[in-house]
Structure 1
Amino acid sequence: MPSKSSARLAALTVAAVCSAAVAAQTVALPTPAHADSVRIHDVQGDTRISPYAGQKVTDVAGIVTGVRTYGSSKGFWMQDPDPDADAATSEGVFVFTSSAPKVAVGDAVTVSGTVSEYVPGGTSSGNQSLTQITRPTVTVVSGGNPVPAATVIDAGSVPDAYAPAGDPAANNSVNALLLRPAAYALDHYESLEGMNVRVADARVVGATDPYTELWVTVKPRENPSRRGGTVYGSYGSQNTGRLQIQSLGAAADFPDANVGDTLTGTTTGPLDYNQYGGYTLVANELGALRSAGLQRETTRGQRNGELAVATYNVENLDPSDDTFAAHADAIVRHLRSPDIVSLEEIQDDTGATDDGTVTAGRTVARLIDAIAAAGGPVYDWRSVDPVDGADGGEPGGNIRQVFLFNPERVSFTDRAGGDATTAAGVTKVRGKAALTVSPGRVDPANPAWENSRKPLVGEFVFRGRTVFVIANHFNSKGGDQGLTAAYQPPVRSSETQRHQQATAVHAFVEEILDVQKNADVVALGDINDFEFSGTTRILEGDGELWSAIKSLPRSERYSYVYQGNSQALDQILVSPSIRRGAFSYDSVHINAEFHDQISDHDPQVLRFRP
């Protein structure tokens, strides 16, 4: 779902997945008159916004607990060793120095400067703000002092309720609400913002990423997957135990962790807030990695009479990539060479070079050759080239869906006339449904597909039975507010377009079923939304389709891991004739849980008897 050039989503009300970060902004709010000397808990206050925001403070005292000398947010955290009695007021704060700070952990310091509310990602992101002291004058009083004891974050301390409802009079903002750290997880984390905190024997629920980050849970029993992750199952039941882990140490020393591994012992450091994960423990001390030995899954092969159909997002594959052999191994060994494979994010023959190229023959040929070299079948393929620059994704890449099929097992019914702008229709041939063009595109002129991938539809024949396959790659979740947003519930603005896309695909499926009630229809791909989402409900309609991932136990319903949430973005939906028959479904976990993934999506496989 996300492109290589934007591996992080701007926000996800869950996974994940294709937007650029917004420049961070600082918000100054009206506050009391100039303050002389105040304590850190006075600066933090008992809401998310400091009562001193925008004002100068003088000689704020604390012990340095962490120093950040890298990146664009250089500075240090300090903490008052003499806390007040109010659990809502944090005793720690970040001091933004802009250049490498000249303090050390254990220094007793006084800081004078301006209190600001910094919004990671900018105010348009909807993120909460981080209270900090800027333009500081720092005085080191003494060195070598004991660091205030770390506050333990564990299953007992984090509430099960995730966040308070926002104030409707303030666009559902929670900023002005009094913090209730014993009632809500987000309030609990906010009450510890900037403080020295600790987790112990924390299970990894989000693998180490290229940015030297991982995710753990302090609630190992919270919606666990059987492979050690934390499954995201509904908008109304958030996984409250998740925390992002970064490190103040050398990047080379950061562990390469997979889901299910454990950071044994203690992981300790200041609690930060950032745009890519919300509350983040920035570790001075990292626990030791204990591997759970997670292995990549392998599905079973199709049995006699079964048709195997798969969907696989290969993450912006183009001829310059070095992952062809690995993708081929995934398809041949782990997916057992499905009869039909819907590929998402196949780029054109020059990749991200924006030179007007739209053909993808070189890209697909390299993959087909690699599959054959890995011992798989010699696949044939079909696709429709997009209009240059019209389908979103990485600029210049012209991503599209492609059908691979094994001609020894299944045939493709070619019907001429399909191109980027011609809509496939449905007609009746000898009493059965048939496409007017094959391969073709579903309703490509519909505004629902603006700057987004148009669905690819094709007509296949397996053992004399026609199967219609619709390959999809819906609009990404980029632009949605994050789960830790200042607005609760967060706004999922991107789903408006996905709902329109689901409506268009569902209408096309209805056309097929209106002509032939018992037609075998498979709609699959990177739906970029969950099996419980409104998008999926629109696709399913009144039973015209059904998301077959729901045949799996809840602990298995995921294809993507984002911010420690294992979630289903890739789906295979089937028509009633398939659902009524014998079928099997497998979400084949080979990528999303691993630090050395070749794609951020796990492929899905459906086997049925047409």
Structure 2
Amino acid sequence: MCALTAAALTSTLLITSAGAASHEPTADEVRIHDVQGSTRISPLAGEEVREVAGIVTGVRGEGSRGFWIQDEEPDDDPATSEGVFVYTGKEAPAVLVGDRVRVSGTVAEYRPDGEDSGNQSLTQITAPEVTVDSSGNELPDPVRLDARRIPRAYAPKGGGEGGVEDRELRPRAFALDLYESLEGMNVEVRDSRVVGPSTSYGELWVTVTPRENPSARGGSVYGSYRDQNAGRLKIKSLADPDENPFPAADTGDRLTGRTEGPLDYDEFGGYTLAAAELGKVERRGLERERTRPQRRDELAVATYNVENLHPGNDAEKFERLARGIARDLAAPDIVALEEIQDNNGPEDDGETAADRTLETLIEAIVDAGGPRYEWRGIDPEDKADGGEPGGNIRTAFLFNPERVTAEDRPGGDATTPTAVERRDGRASLTLSPGRVDPADEAWEDSRKPLAAQFAFRGEPVIVVANHFSSKGGDEPLHGRFQPPNRVSETQRLAQAESVNSFVRDALKIDRKAQIVVLGDINDFEFSGTTKALTAGGALRSTAYALPRDERYTYVFQGNSQILDQTLVSPAIRRYDYDIVHTNAEFADQISDHDPQVLRFRP
């Protein structure tokens, strides 16, 4: 018999509910399902409970230390969980899986990442006093999560101050309600397809609903705000990574056998199976794609987010990016690059030039067998364009001078906008390269679009490289507000309107102007941002030229989704468009985005 005590959570992590309980059992009657209640917030939040009984089903000795217990005597209500997390603070849990314990402490609701995050809360018992009555007991049978159990509908609707937290759980109607009704309980998945590759944090994503929006290569496509892929589930191991390293897995691999453990909740994906027993990864040999070379009379324009590239990166990153451009993208004629950092990367000393970054990449492309590209770009003002502090990320162009001519018009700088004028009856840039509307507040603390004019076989083509503002600050899909508020979309809508206006000005001068707008739009092909970009028929998204199961450039929390886009003006009627899946689906990735390439005959 032993007892342990740990420091309680700080007040900023507590959500109290004074007087909210409709049922107040006496101390010796309190069981785990009384602590959990039938909504997301415990009816006993903020109250002391005594000798809550359960079997230890999992122990976490690092990070948020503690252990899970589960009642051996469940009630008849499917909405009330029979498991709960016991938070031990700085103290390592002094219990073992299989211990039968009694826990006294304070019921609390922990909100991962704070009150403003939009996350749901995790019910737990804090400042615990623990009595171990026996050891080596059998664990409660796990609840199996599979396609028969997971509702198709993802979440109930709920806004206002509490969102869905005060709603009675309906686990047969909504996937998020089902997961909440199992919070802290022992669950299992079997023979599940990996839909989000393993990460350096020792986690991966599977789907337990394999027929739900499958991608062509084994993932789950996120193609609508109304269809969030309810069967996605994060898997994280409770094992010591030094003794049991987390297995590498790519999208499309399978997590075979049984994976079992308590159902947790965190800010990095919501409901998570904290695996006390982890299945084996069966590799399916997913291969990186290679696109076809452009034909002699085709112009190939690509876009690639190279993820904070600067000369301080190791040589392997440059080598792999170079091979990707020279081989996988078949040496496009023009490459729009996003996340090019300045010459000393995140060092914050006022440096803004990125010539060494770009020239290092160009040399690596030559070494990889590609052409000797030239580059065009404009250095931003220091700290004005967001991104990693000190990095001064920006967009830039590479182009193959053997195939393409840059029609340079000098004078472009960080603050001077380029415009469109009539020249020889055609739409032409006043500055090339030049920035699009850099003073517009839409681009505050964000990357400004870079426009440049090129000639291919005598035909002028205007290309606009973009990196719209990020989705940071949006409420999560798994959060307490449903549908989640996408606050970051406001700025992207304004950015899209700015670019759309620029393109429409060009089309007023020359309706046959050939314009390609591309880059990391940080939004989906069905989003309001894309609708604003294409408003008035100025542009159309090439994403819809692909089958639905191939429309993705990024994998986030098990959802394969489009963030990078290529759009074309009406004069570009026939084209060949390819998203080249080389990064996002793989554990070993050189960037978290997949590149894409557009081929057409100007």
TM-score (norm 1): 0.95
TM-superposed CA distance for 1:253, in Å, is 2.2
What is the match of residue 273 of structure 2? 281
**What SS does the corresponding residue of 1:542 show, helix, strand or coil?**
helix
Separation (CA, whole Å) in 2 of partners of 1:357 and 1:209:
32
**What SS does the corresponding residue of 1:372 show, helix, strand or coil?**
helix
What is the match of residue 4 of structure 1? none
What is the match of residue 422 of structure 1? 416
**What SS does the corresponding residue of 1:420 show, helix, strand or coil?**
coil
Q: Which of the numbers 504, 507, 510 marks the counterpart of 1:510?
A: 504
**What SS does the corresponding residue of 2:537 show, helix, strand or coil?**
coil
What is the match of residue 335 of structure 1? 329
Aligned partners of 1:419 and 1:440 also within 8 Å:
yes
Separation (CA, whole Å) in 2 of partners of 1:264 and 1:36:
43
Separation (CA, whole Å) in 2 of partners of 1:101 and 1:117:
20
What is the match of residue 16 of structure 2? 28
What is the match of residue 79 of structure 1? 70
TM-superposed CA distance for 1:172, in Å, is 6.8
What is the match of residue 61 of structure 1? 53
**Residue deviations 1:273-317 (CA, integer Å, cap 9, x gap):** 000010000001111110111000000000121000000000000
Aligned partners of 1:25 and 1:121 also within 8 Å:
no
Q: Which of the numbers 193, 196, 219 marks the counterpart of 1:203?
A: 193
TM-superposed CA distance for 1:359, in Å, is 0.2
**Residue deviations 1:418-444 (CA, integer Å, cap 9, x gap):** 000001111111111111110000000
What is the match of residue 451 of structure 1? 445
What is the match of residue 181 of structure 1? 171
Whether 1:130 and 2:122 are equivalent positions in the alignment is: yes
AA matched with 1:27: I
AA matched with 1:67: V
What is the match of residue 399 of structure 2? 405
Whether 1:394 and 2:388 are equivalent positions in the alignment is: yes
TM-superposed CA distance for 1:608, in Å, is 0.4
Whether 1:380 and 2:380 are equivalent positions in the alignment is: no
Separation (CA, whole Å) in 2 of partners of 1:279 and 1:427:
54
What is the match of residue 240 of structure 1? 230
**What SS does the corresponding residue of 2:141 show, helix, strand or coil?**
coil
AA matched with 1:191: S
What is the match of residue 15 of structure 1? none
* Structure 2: gaps of 5 or more residues: 1-10
What is the match of residue 266 of structure 1? 258
TM-superposed CA distance for 1:526, in Å, is 0.1
AA matched with 2:596: Q
* Structure 1: gaps of 5 or more residues: 1-22
What is the match of residue 97 of structure 1? 88
Aligned partners of 1:474 and 1:526 also within 8 Å:
yes
**What SS does the corresponding residue of 1:58 show, helix, strand or coil?**
strand
**What SS does the corresponding residue of 2:585 show, helix, strand or coil?**
coil
Separation (CA, whole Å) in 1 of partners of 2:309 and 2:17:
47
**What SS does the corresponding residue of 1:253 show, helix, strand or coil?**
coil
What is the match of residue 16 of structure 1? none
What is the match of residue 6 of structure 2? none
Q: CA RMSD in A?
A: 1.1
TM-superposed CA distance for 1:552, in Å, is 0.1
AA matched with 1:49: I
Separation (CA, whole Å) in 1 of partners of 2:31 and 2:330:
63
Q: Which of the numbers 217, 220, 224 marks the counterpart of 2:210?
A: 220
**Residue deviations 1:492-526 (CA, integer Å, cap 9, x gap):** 00000000000000000001101000000000000
Separation (CA, whole Å) in 2 of partners of 1:384 and 1:118:
46
Q: Which of the numbers 106, 130, 142 marks the counterpart of 2:98?
A: 106
Separation (CA, whole Å) in 2 of partners of 1:90 and 1:222:
26
- % of aligned pairs identical? 62
Separation (CA, whole Å) in 2 of partners of 1:393 and 1:112:
46
Separation (CA, whole Å) in 2 of partners of 1:335 and 1:125:
39
Whether 1:575 and 2:578 are equivalent positions in the alignment is: no
Higher relative contact order (CA 8 A, sep 6+): 1
Q: Which of the numbers 456, 472, 477 marks the counterpart of 1:462?
A: 456
Separation (CA, whole Å) in 2 of partners of 1:190 and 1:571:
36
Separation (CA, whole Å) in 2 of partners of 1:35 and 1:550:
61
Separation (CA, whole Å) in 2 of partners of 1:172 and 1:331:
48
Q: Which of the numbers 521, 525, 546 marks the counterpart of 1:531?
A: 525
Separation (CA, whole Å) in 1 of partners of 2:69 and 2:410:
69
Aligned partners of 1:297 and 1:590 also within 8 Å:
yes
What is the match of residue 430 of structure 2? 436
**What SS does the corresponding residue of 2:506 show, helix, strand or coil?**
helix
Q: Which of the numbers 66, 79, 99 marks the counterpart of 1:88?
A: 79
TM-superposed CA distance for 1:171, in Å, is 4.2
Separation (CA, whole Å) in 1 of partners of 2:463 and 2:17:
55
Separation (CA, whole Å) in 2 of partners of 1:184 and 1:396:
44
What is the match of residue 584 of structure 1? 576
AA matched with 1:457: A
CA distance change for structure 1 residues 603 and 459 in 2, over 3 Å: closer, same or farther?
Answer: same
What is the match of residue 353 of structure 2? 359
**Residue deviations 1:425-481 (CA, integer Å, cap 9, x gap):** 111111111111100000000000111000000000000100000000000001100
TM-superposed CA distance for 1:26, in Å, is 2.5
AA matched with 1:91: E
What is the match of residue 141 of structure 2? 149
What is the match of residue 591 of structure 2? 599
What is the match of residue 292 of structure 1? 284
AA matched with 2:478: T
Give aligned pairs, total.
583
**What SS does the corresponding residue of 2:85 show, helix, strand or coil?**
strand
Aligned partners of 1:531 and 1:549 also within 8 Å:
yes
Whether 1:552 and 2:546 are equivalent positions in the alignment is: yes
Aligned partners of 1:24 and 1:119 also within 8 Å:
no
Q: Which of the numbers 205, 216, 221 marks the counterpart of 1:231?
A: 221
